[in-house]
Amino acid sequence: MKRIVVFRAGILALFIVLVGGSVRGQDASKPPESDASKLVYADFQNTQSGRPVSKEGGMIRLNPYSQNSANPPQFRGLEKADPPAPAFARVTAEDVAAAFDYELRIPNEWAGVNMEVFGHPEKDGKLVPDDVSGYKFITLRVFVKGGTQAQYVRLELISRGLGSNLESGYPIASFRVAPGFNTYKLKLDSFNQPDWAMQLDLKRDVLKKLTSVTVGVHCDKCKMEKGTLVVDNIAFEK
């Protein structure tokens, strides 16, 4: 049994008990290290002004969205953070993750909350991209506590301000989560855009100019639901 302790503004807020949560492929107590075959995007060990940042110091923020703007999802992360940020979740004495609580509301044809991780701080007011086109996979550790809508987690690969500045409709992939705090590995070529979006070339327009990655919960024809999402060790692998 593993226990994650979620902190908000340094105050103990929530215990999540993980039963049967084997971590596949790495020691749960150690964050991943970058090498020639891996780019660690965010291990949530770094902080700036009391909030988590990516491995290279990029901002991490929480984004709600919904079809019904009068009844958007509610969420809670790091208290008094502006813009909203995830809270810190203590995994072991050496390792922390990022977490937020969410509440999906009705009526909504679609809605969600995601954690957007920018690879780098802005430079001269512009986003700084990463070229991840040489990698084949994205990996991350995830735990979700919630109802049936939380059985799937959605990832999105974003390139803004570099020739393809879509408001929405970037390549996405969803995966089913198992009980516990587990590592998941997705092929980058499995990410696809919605049919309604302006179509981009995945490698040329997105992977070569990646500015951020989102991880979150999403619902279609939503039902009322409350839960918690915990994320750790986002990385690209060859």
Higher-confidence position of 87 and 12? 87
| Among 183, 138, 134, 208, CA closest to 26 | 183
Task: Give dist(CA 203, CA 215) in Å, integer.
Answer: 20
Determine the pLDDT at residue 34.
Answer: 60
Q: Give the pLDDT band of residue 13 (cuts 50, 70, 90).
A: very low
Distinct helix (H) and strand (E) counts, the chain: 0, 16
186 CB-side CA count, 13 A: 24
Cβ–Cβ under 8 Å, residues 196 and 169: yes
Contacts of 60 (CB under 8 A, 6+ apart): 42, 51, 52, 53, 54, 85, 86, 98, 115, 116, 117, 118
Give residue-wise pLDDT tens across range 135-186: 999 999 999 998 777 789 999 999 998 877 788 899 999 999 999 999 999 9
Determine the pLDDT at residue 148.
Answer: 77
Q: Give the pLDDT band of residue 28 (cuts 50, 70, 90).
A: very low
The mean pLDDT value for 100-111 works out to 96
pLDDT exceeds 90 at position 87: yes
Task: Give dist(CA 168, CA 170) in Å, integer.
Answer: 6
Q: Is 164 left (phi over 0), alpha (psi -120 to 50) or beta?
A: beta
